[in-house]
Amino acid sequence: MVKTIEGSRTAPRTPSIDSDEVAKFSAMAADWWNPTGKFKPLHKFNPVRLGFIRETAERHFAIAPGALAPLKGLRLLDIGCGGGLACEPMSRLGADVVGVDASESNIKTALTHAREQGLDIDYRAGTAEGLIDGGEKPFDIVLNLEVVEHVADAHAFLKDTASLVRPGGLMIVATLNRTAKALATAVIGAEYVLGWLPRGTHDWSKFVTPDEVHTALAAAGMTPQAPTGVSYKPLSDSWTLSSDTAVNYMTVATRPAE
């Protein structure tokens, strides 16, 4: 049985919910763990973002590099977790993981796969607003990965999710920049020319600039850092961290300790 969040606001006009976006990813839910399926680009992208998350957490929480379970003792939220592609590695690194997604189909897929892997992950169908309304205890780490560009109100969503970061904790946002280069590569190129993603996966008008992310998080009392770009290398068919934030980028924000 899928766990739902008490008090979750699921009307289409809430910041977390764009009903068309939820339906889109629900229809693809069964394909989340197929490395050659509809989420193939995300599987290729995943290693670089997972490495970035681990290294960021190690620096922020003064964890010695190379530990077998560096996130042990830390409570982590993956909001918009999809099928669990980030939740499972974070659980293996020792974190106490809560994965939340507005699509019950995604949560069913994530829950089934985690159980097959012998992982104990707290998956819930719901929204960030539902967590807040339910009085959820703040988290050490909040992951906001490739979800901001799919919500109804990015600014409000970022502020809501930031409120779930405890004092001294951090948030990592990974998203797409609203630039001409992103339109050409992430939408036209990836969806219509190369066919890496199903057509209509992304709406360029919903992409979020680094300045917009910075403004929303700062308004929520966070301290955002300069964004880090993530670039595709066609010769090696891989992704790497870079200084180019024109398409994919990640932003780290911390909440000052009390």
CATH code at position 216: 3.40.50.150
Name the 3-class secondary structure at 169. strand
Burial of 249 (0-12, 13-18, 19+ CB in 10 A): buried
Number of Cβ atoms within 10 Å of the Cβ of 208: 22
Residue 59 annotated as lining a ligand binding site: no
CB 49 within 8 A of CB 241: no
Residue 54 annotated as lining a ligand binding site: no
Q: How many domains does the chain have?
A: 1
Residue 153 annotated as lining a ligand binding site: no
Whole-prediction pTM? 0.88
Side-chain half-sphere CA neighbours of 104 within 13 A: 7
List beta partners, residue 62: none
Whose structure tokens read 């910075």? Answer: 214
Name the 3-class secondary structure at 144. strand
**Main-chain dihedrals φ then ψ at residue 254, nearest 5 degrees:** -115, 150
Nearest residue to 152 (alpha-carbon basis) of 105, 196, 203, 194: 203
| Tens place of pLDDT per residue across the chain (258 aa) | 566 554 444 433 355 555 655 455 455 556 889 888 878 888 888 999 999 999 999 999 999 988 999 999 999 999 999 999 999 999 999 999 999 999 999 999 999 999 989 999 999 999 999 999 999 999 999 999 999 998 989 999 999 999 999 999 999 999 999 999 988 977 776 655 566 566 667 788 899 999 999 999 999 999 999 999 999 887 787 889 999 999 999 999 999 997
34 is in which domain, residue-wise?
Answer: 3-255
Residue 244 annotated as lining a ligand binding site: no
